[in-house]
Amino acid sequence: MNEVKTPILEMQGITKRFPGVLANDHVDLELYPGEVLALLGENGAGKSTLMNVLVGLYRPDEGEIYVRGKRAEIHSPKDAAALGIGMVHQNFMLVKTMTVAENIILGMSDLPFVPSMETVGKRITEISKRYNLQVDPNAYIWQLSVGEQQRVEILKLVYRGAEILILDEPTAVLTPQESHELAGVLKVMTDEGKSAIFITHKMEEVMEFSDWVRVLQHGKLVAVRRTQDTSPQELARLMVGREVLFRLDKAACTPTETILELQDVHADDDKGLPALRGLSLTIHGGEIVGIAGVAGNGQRQLSEVVTGLRRVTGGQVFIRRKDMTNQNPLSVIKAGVSHIPADRIGMGAVGNMAVSENLVMKGYREAPIVINGVLRPNRILEFAHKMIEMFRIATPTPQTRIKFLSGGNIQKAILAREIDACDGLLVAVYPSRGLDVGATESVRRMLLAQREEGMGVLLISEDLEELLTIADRIAVMFEGQIMGVVASDDADVETLGLMMAGVKREDLAVEIEDAVSTSTASS
């Protein structure tokens, strides 16, 4: 490998300022044909901004872009597309009420004639096959899982002839299995000479997917490495600027009273199909119970049933032994339940409100925020300052509208609010999704701190490492039922994997201490 390649893309000295923020500070980037570049950095480091500059959504204040050696003026995504550059955004941009095929040709104004949907469908099937991106061209977007929607986004770019693909945290919403498949798709593309820029917070993926790594810190390029010459530890250190411990110290679990009890719960999903099918589960104060499982096996409905957002069609929900079956969300909040939802941008935050207002949204009924029925703006600010500092939320001011924060920092704000408001049970759905390594570490610490304060935590996660590190017991969900519960000290990835695939725990030929009976005996 001594041949000298010329880059297909060069960004030189890119600078982008927002009010109060230097998002990109003279950043250089090179991308070679047939290679994958991983772009890393903490939440708010400027990764999405740099890519938005590349596809013409933002105009840089300084700097130049060269594509195939020629100076490029990119004023819009259309200009970018004409140069073969396409991006899959952190939040998808598909039209839900249209079909896959319609979404793919939507806005393609340079078509010589209006193609028949049949021709389009054929072409889509052809590309699907070549890249192993299976989707039905006639399906409506709303019928597809997040993973399938992402395939559509990628198909759309390839259909339009993209040679340079930008994927902004594509795996944050994928199951480990789907991430693996995506790695395969990228491999086929790079073998054909296409290139990709790949943003992720997961170090294993950097090692698996990429050829080169560039690290941003506070808007500046701080390191360039060949993937084969670096390690997850070094990359984490380069991003955060300090050594990151991938280990957490955890005190022994001392479960107290029963906080949550689900008895034979049944519930339907949005399409009216059974999602929970006779689920029973108990959580005590002072313990973290993890829910493992491939996404789409009823985890979301479970969290919604517990937080009062979805009605049960059978069974009962008790919170601190009080029957809370089909109570409204406000009563559930009053019973001491906090919720970190999976869809944080949609459900967790109000984009046009200030960071500070988003932070107090839950505590606003109480002193010291409200005294004698009057809102205290100073108290709100004081509280916001405290939260911003504690959770290291990167925002120019507490008054900044939350939609201007980076994806990860919006998440941190919601986490801060919910963890702070928790008084009994914390329902955390994929809490570290989209967070950088440092923030992930702090979130895990905070969940452990809640546990030490005697709260019960229901932790839904796809990350088995995360569950094994911080959960006390792990319940595996499959098709709306619990396949078994194991003490995490006795659990291993293989056993959990088998249960996630639908093997009942009692059918496993492994001897594991009966975590279920010991813990229910203590309650």
Ligand X SMILES: Nc1ncnc2c1ncn2[C@@H]1O[C@H](COP(=O)(O)OP(=O)(O)OP(=O)(O)O)[C@@H](O)[C@H]1O
Residues that bind Mg ion (CB under 5 A): 48, 407
| Contact range with ligand X by CB under 6 A, out of 18-26, 120-128, 272-280, 451-459 | 18-26
Strand partners of residue 190: none
Among 44, 84, 170, 456, binds ligand X (CB under 6 A): 44
- Pick the closer one to ligand X by CB: 21 or 464: 21
The answer to whether 300 touches 430, Cβ cutoff 8 Å, is: no
| Cross-strand bridge partners of residue 220 | 217
Report the distance separating Cα 477 and Cα 289, nearest Å.
Answer: 12
Q: Is 293 or 408 the residue whose CB approaches Mg ion more closely?
A: 408
Distance of alpha carbon 467 from alpha carbon 471, whole angstroms: 5
Site for ligand X in 364-403 (CB under 6 A): 394
Shortest distance (Å) from residue 169 CB to ligand X:
7
Question: Is residue 203 within the footprint of ligand X (CB under 6 A)?
Answer: no
407 binds ligand X (CB under 6 A): yes
Amino acid at 60: P
Closer to ligand X by Cβ: residue 255 or 407: 407
β-pairing verdict for 212-217 and 9-18: unpaired
Buried b (16+ CB within 10 A) or exposed e, 177-189: ebbebbeebbeeb
Q: How far is the CB of 236 from ligand X (least distance, A)?
A: 14
Contact partner at residue 44 from ligand X, Mg ion, none, CB < 5 to 8 Å by partner kind: ligand X
> Shortest approach of Mg ion to residue 239 CB, angstroms?
14
Closer CB to Mg ion, residue 147 or residue 407? 407
Which token pair is 151?
Answer: 């395939």
- Which of these, 56, 6, 54, 55, lies nearest to 27 by C-alpha position? 54
Among the listed residues 462, 492, 501, 490, the one whose alpha carbon sits nearest the alpha carbon of residue 202:
462
Phi, psi angle pair for 179, to nearest 5°: -60, -40
* C-alpha–C-alpha distance, residues 42 and 394, integer Å: 10
Say whether residue 47 binds ligand X (CB under 6 A). Answer: yes
According to CB under 6 A, which one of 35, 38, 49, 124 is a site residue for ligand X? 49
Nearest to Mg ion of 60, 407 (CB atom)? 407
At residue 429, what are phi and psi to the nearest 5 degrees?
-105, 115
Contact call for residue 21 and ligand X (CB under 6 A)? yes
Instruction: Kindly state the DSSP code that residue 404 receives in the 8-state scheme.
Output: G
Minimum CB distance to ligand X smaller for 21 or for 80: 21
Question: For Mg ion, which is the closer residue by CB, 60 or 484?
Answer: 60
Query: Exposed, middle or buried: residue 323 (CB in 10 Å: 0-12, 13-18, 19+)?
Result: exposed
Q: Least distance (Å) from Mg ion to the CB of residue 35?
A: 22
Tell me the window of 46-54, 284-292, 316-324, 453-461 that interacts with ligand X (CB under 6 A): 46-54
Does 23 participate in binding ligand X (rule CB under 6 A)? yes
Could you tell me how many residues make up the chain? 523
CB of 29 to ligand X, least distance (A): 14
Q: Which of 18, 142, 246, 364 binds ligand X (CB under 6 A)?
A: 18
Helix (H, G, I), strand (E, B) or coil at 203: helix
- Partner from ligand X, Mg ion, none binding residue 23, C-beta < 5-8 Å depending on class: ligand X
Q: Which of 303, 302, 335 is nearest to 319 (CA)?
A: 335
Which option in ligand X, Mg ion, none does residue 43 bind, with CB closer than 5 to 8 A by kind?
A: ligand X
Cβ-proximal residues to 241 (8 Å cutoff; 6+ apart), any chain: 217
Complex with ligand X: residue 344 or 473, whichever CB lies closer: 344
Nearer to ligand X, 117 or 345 (CB): 345
- Residue 18 partner contact from Mg ion, ligand X, none using kind-dependent CB cut-offs of 5 to 8 Å: ligand X
Between CA 383 and CA 316 the distance in angstroms is 37
Question: In 3D, which of 347, 342, 267 has the Cα closest to residue 300?
Answer: 342
Q: Does 358 bind ligand X (CB under 6 A)?
A: no
Q: Does 338 bind ligand X (CB under 6 A)?
A: no
Q: Are 256 and 454 in contact (CB under 8 A)?
A: yes
Q: Does 121 bind ligand X (CB under 6 A)?
A: no
For Mg ion, the closer CB: 407 or 456: 407
CB 78 within 8 A of CB 162: no
Cα(336)–Cα(282) distance, rounded to whole angstroms? Answer: 16
By CB under 6 A, name the one of 10, 11, 30, 48 that touches ligand X. Answer: 48
Of the residues 63, 308, 408, 456, which one makes contact with ligand X according to CB under 6 A? 408
- C-alpha dist (Å) from residue 97 to 100, 133, 138: 10, 21, 12
Angle between helices 407-421 and 437-452 (to 10 degrees): 10
Q: Is 56 a binder of ligand X (CB under 6 A)? A: no
- Which CB sits closer to ligand X, 18 or 364? 18
Among 406, 440, 461, 519, binds ligand X (CB under 6 A): 406
- Residues forming contacts to ligand X in the complex (CB under 6 A) are 18, 21, 23, 41, 43-49, 394, 404-409
